[in-house]
Each structure stands twice: as C-alpha cells, then as structure tokens.
Amino acid sequence: MNTYSSLNLTSNGLKVLQKRYLKKDEHGVARETPDDLLRRVAKAIAAADLNYGKSFNDLDALEREFYEMMAALDFLPNSPTLMNAGRRLGQLSACFVLPVDDSMESIFEAVKNAAMIHKSGGGTGFSFSSLRPKGDVVGSTKGISSGPVSFMAVFDTATEAVKQGGTRRGANMAILSVDHPDIIDFISCKANSTRLNNFNISVALTQKFIEAVASNSEYELINPRGGAVAGRLDAAYVFDLIVKHAWENGEPGIIFIDKMNASNPTPLAGRIDATNPCGEQPLLPFESCNLGSINLSNMVLKREGGVSVDWDKLKAVTRMAVHFLDNVIDLNKYPLVKIEEMTKANRKIGLGIMGWADMLIQLGIPYGSEDSLDLAGRLMRHIRDEGRSASEALAHERGTFPNYAGSVYDGALKMRNATITTIAPTGTLSIIAGCSSGIEPLFAVSYIRTVMEGTKLVEVNPHFERIAKERGFYSPELMEEIAHSHCLSDVKAVPADIAGLFKTAHEITPEDHIRMQAAFQKYVDNAVSKTVNFHNGATIEDVKKVYMLACQLECKGVTVYRDGSRDGQVLVVAQPGNGDSAAAHAEAIQAPQSPANIKIVPKKRPKVIKGTTESTQTGCGNLYVTINEDENGMPFEVFNHIGKAGGCAASQSEAIGRLVSLALRCNISPDEIISQLKGISCHQPIWANGGKISSCADAIAKAVECYCHGEVNHGHQSNGSHIDMASTMVGACPECGGAVEHEGGCSVCHDCGFTKCQ
C-alpha cells in the first residue's frame, strides 16, 4: 500500500476518512490508505477520457493531475464519488429528483426508486404538488384521498428501513406548492419532532403569492387534479404561518420556485418543481447531479508585500475540476436507466466552494463587511466564467449536451454542461480538507471536544492560534476561556480587531447572512445552500424580515435556524439579554406559577401495581427497565437494573429511576421527562436495536418513550425498542455524541463527520 505521509490531513480529517470513506474488508478493517483512496478515485475518473480519443499516456498525465489536485486538498468531489469511484457499486452522484404523479402506481414507484437511490448513497428530492388534496375523490375507486402529507410518511418509513444498512444516511426533500389545497397541513407537518425525520421540507413560493403577501390580499388554491380553483387563503396569514414554524424549529424552508424556473437552462426539457435535500440543486424529474468543491483556504497567495487571492491558481483548479466532474457523468453507474438518460441529456455539474471564512481571515477581511460581499461577487464570477470557459472547451472536443438546442446557451455558447456552479453544504468534505464549511462563517473559534474516557480537549482554529501567538496573547488558559464564551468580544485579552475578524455565525447579523448568500447567488447557476443563524431571543418578526430580504435580493431559497429551537440541541451559544426573549415568555406562560409555600406531594404507591420490563443494551451492559403504571394506564414509576455492572453505573441508574418515578408521581408529563434524558451522552455509546444508545440515561428515556407509544408488549419482557435515530440528530451526534452544528442548510458533526444530509 502507498503511504499517505504526503497528505496534509488533520487528525479529524484522517479520522473521518478512516471511518467513512476507506475501502474495508468484511471485518471493517481498512484495506486502503487515504493516499490509496485518492489514487483510486483519480484513476477511475481519468479513464473517461478514453471515450474521447485520448491515449493511455494522456491518461497517466490526467490521472496525476486529478490526484495532485485532491491530495493538495485544493478540490474534493462529493462523498459518493470519494466512496465509490473505482469500486463495484460505482454510484457517484449525491443529488437526485424523482417525480411523484397523482396515481398509486407512480407514488409507490417513486418509493421503490428512492429506496434504490438511498441504498447507493444518494439523497432524493420530491415535489408532492401533483397529488390531489386530502378528502378529494379517487376516481378509480370512488374512495377519498389521504393527501400528500400522508404519503410522505410512506416515503419516510421506507427511508428509515433502507438507511439502517447503508453506508450513508438516506435524506429527502419534500416540496409543496404554496397554492396546493393541503398547504396548511404541510407547513405544520414537522411541528411534532417525532414525525418525518428523514425529510427536510420546503414550501415553493410563487411570484403571485409573494405579490399577494405584499398587497395583503388573498390568493387562489388550485386542485392539481384538473386545475380548478379549490378555495382562497389570506396570503399574509399563510406566510406568517410559514415564518412561525421556521422560527419554532427551522422548518419549513422556502424556495422561490419561479426564480428557479427563470434560470432553468433547459426549459424545453421540463419544469423544475423540486431540489435535492439541501435545496441548492434544482433538478428536473429523474435528473441527478454530481458536485465538488474548491478549497478557497488554499487559494491565497502569500508574498512579502502581503496576501491576496491567487486568481491564477483558482483558474487552473476551476478548469481541472470542471473536467473532473464532466468525466464523473460518464463513469457513473446510475441506479435507474431513466436517471442515466436524463442526466446525460443535460450533463449538469455543480462546482462549489468551501473554506470561504478561512480565506477572508487570511486576507484580513471581516465576514459580512462590504469588502467581503464585494469579494464574494468577484470570486464567484471568476469561478463561473472560468468554469463556463472550461465547459465550452470540452464541448468543442466532446460535443454539447444533447438538450443544448432550445437551451439558454443555444446560439450563444457551445456548452458541454447545462449548469456549472452550485454551492453545496460541505460538512464532511470540509473536515477532510481542514477548512471552514461552504460559505458559512466560523461556528466557533475554540471549543471543547470530549474524547474517549471523558478526556476533554480544547480545539482552536489554526488561523486564530497562529495570530494569537504572533501577537503575543496566546495561552492555553485563554483558549479554554474562549471555548466557554459565546464571542471573542467578551474576552478582554483578545484585541478588538482580532475579535472583529473572527466573528462566528451567531455574531453575524441574519441580514448579513442573507446578503452574503445573495452576493454568491448572483453568479451561481444553480442555488446556494446556507443557514441563516438567529440567536435564541430572535423574534418571529426577525425571521419574517429575513425571508422578505431574501426575496428582494433574489436568493433562490432560505433556510433559517434559531439557536436552541429544536429539542435535544447540545451546542447552544450563550446570548446576552435573552431574559425577555419570546421563548422565555412562552416558557413562563406555559409553566404554572405556584406560591412558594405550596408543597407538591407525590401520589402514594398502591400495594399492588403492574408493569413491563424491557431489556436494552448499553455501553455498561444490559439494562433492564421496569415501568409500572397507575390505575389509568399511565406510567407511575420506573426501576432500573444494570446487569452485573455494579458501582457507579448501577447507583446512577437507580438514582435516575427514583427521580423519574418521583416526577411521574407528581404528574409531570412523561414527554417532559423523556426530553430531559434523551440524547445524554457518555464515553461508552453503543449501537443496539437498530440505533444508538448514547448512555444509560438515554436508554431509560427511550424505554419510557417506547412504552408510552405502545411499542412494547405490556405484561411481557421485551427484547428491545425501536430507536428513531433521526429524532436525536439535532444536538448530540447520534454516532459519537459530539455537538451537531447547523451549517449550509444541513447538520454536521465535526467530531466524526456524521451528517444529516448528503
């Protein structure tokens, strides 16, 4: 095997490659090094040039260029390409869109096709706008339709089943047009965090709807079965409902569907109704797209006179990356014949970027400043222009994409690819490359990572550490203090100019997040995946303003996340002055106010009580959870026994059981107890019963949850519970227990590389 000493990988990057990407034997032992992986990928992708009259000597040179581009971490393709190029599976695309037409045959054909795509490592997007609404008559049977949201649950269940055995989690995007009669049900379909956890959802806003919101008027609902008007709704009410739910838990997102179709490069080939799971790749039915990202942190030229963007290097990498991605289309082993036909008809590629925040830091430009917005436009225009030039050169050599006639390029540019640029989330790729994610700001300058046996390590951004040492204010104690602070401006030892340069995601105003997205979107063929971060105290009106700004600045979609708005989030940044936040007011309203002299007395235990014992595995051994119920069939008390573990594990399990029992006997809702315990992590997590058990406390919470939801056989010992992994992914990582960050319209763990999306 080749060594990988020449690769400049961080320890985290190496760990992610070893865990997720390297070829392994049947025992899970790696059979290649990172260097072998890159050589495998380079060799496989270069081979496509043989289809265009190139010799094996040409191939050797191209393979070396592809390898060196990836080994230098200047460019990396999307994860399926890294995983599968040169291997038997050979499925190289991350993004797919499947049609869902208004028939039972089409719906379940789409379910089957989605399962095949998820099995191969891809993610799927669907528009459910063609399905007749709930309560509508089904012509063939004279029955009643259950509507789009009910069928989404079928897709969700199928994804849950397939992902358990896959190398990458299946992810879906569900889109419904704002003029569909079931739009209200769709907007609120993820208000319950236990539903549809394998879906991101977005509402497709039409220009007519946006105009109705602006004029404070009603708009028409259209029944997709026949196109008749099915009613009218107040546009402002619907828009406010979208905003309210996004404020509560980040969903639904919105896409400006008419804006997407205005930039559809092949309108004669079809209309765009859906995107991939993170929303940055609009696609026609049965299209797929392969993505890749340039590492901007490596595109900085350092000379004695200072630093600047290395425009020549960026040009060279862009042109080589376009060649690479076009080759991927030919080498790809597609999961469906229809997908292969549609993909090759348009040959869309999505070249994006990562390391934007790192580039700005090296150039001394604060994120969100006017200089940063100006550079964003100039840089993306450079990539777009050079990418189109490279595609044009390939078209002269290999021919235009088959649907070129009637495309937006017809008569102007001879293009090999219908689209060139996309800005995708780069969760695991940016970990491998050791750079910031996509076009996001830094999430933290310093943070504490818990590793095996509870050891805590302080991780520091390398640029900050370098500058701190150069400026003479570095110390390990200061780095730890910063890790516990929500922003550098709170740390007196950090100079003001440095604090301004290293602003983190929560210090950037939501408006500046949108302005940055818009600056890039202007020169991106497809769309931009980005998260607009809000602090916990942000109001519903704050979110509404950002949505309107995104529309005004011609973004193609918006994803927002208010810190701490989803149950189970671990990484919550402290914010000053949040005592008067809307969330705090809501909590105060919901919590009953009792005089201090009132004593809450738990219900007395009857002499005889019945219940159920459930066995589940934990990192400390088998845990037996006994749940007894009261005369009304409600959980009354919990006893825990942790096998033969003894010591702390046994005593803590017993203590948790006593406190849970006390809470239940004081009429505290089981759901509240579950939400407090579920997702707590320890140093010995374990995979069991189809999911991850993060700790004994987590196992107890899940046992109580299963009992309350009727997933155990009452009166009998159960052999374990079904664990919904998706419900634990916001906050604590379901694989390593680390903190999950929201970035690029997705969720990613920077400890192990786990990501919710593709």
Task: List, by residue number, the catalytic residues.
Answer: 276, 278, 280
Task: Return d(Cα 184, Cα 230) in angstroms, integer.
Answer: 14
From residue 608, alpha-carbon distances to 530, 605, 624, 628, 679 in Å are: 57, 8, 20, 10, 33
Token pair in block for residue 23: 């070829």
Token pair in block for residue 658: 């006593």
Task: Return d(Cα 76, Cα 286) in angstroms, integer.
Answer: 25
Task: Return d(Cα 219, Cα 210) in angstroms, integer.
Answer: 10
**Of 366, 362, 360, 359, which is closest to residue 500 (Cα–Cα)?**
366
β strands within 122-184, DSSP E: 123-127, 137-138, 143-144, 172-177
Those residues whose C-beta lies under 8 Å from the C-beta of residue 55, and which sit 6 or more positions away, are none
What one-letter code names the amino acid at 209? F
Helix or strand run (H / E) with residue 322? helix 311-331
Token pair in block for residue 292: 């890749």
Burial group, residue 715, by CB count within 10 angstroms (0-12, 13-18, 19+): exposed
Q: Which residues of 375-401 are buried (b: 16+ CB within 10 A; e: fewer)?
A: bbeebbebbbebbbbbbbebbeebebb
> What DSSP string runs through 241-286?
HHHHHHHHHS--EEEEHHHHHHT-S-GGG----EE-TTSS-EE-TT
429 φ, ψ to 5°?
A: -60, -40
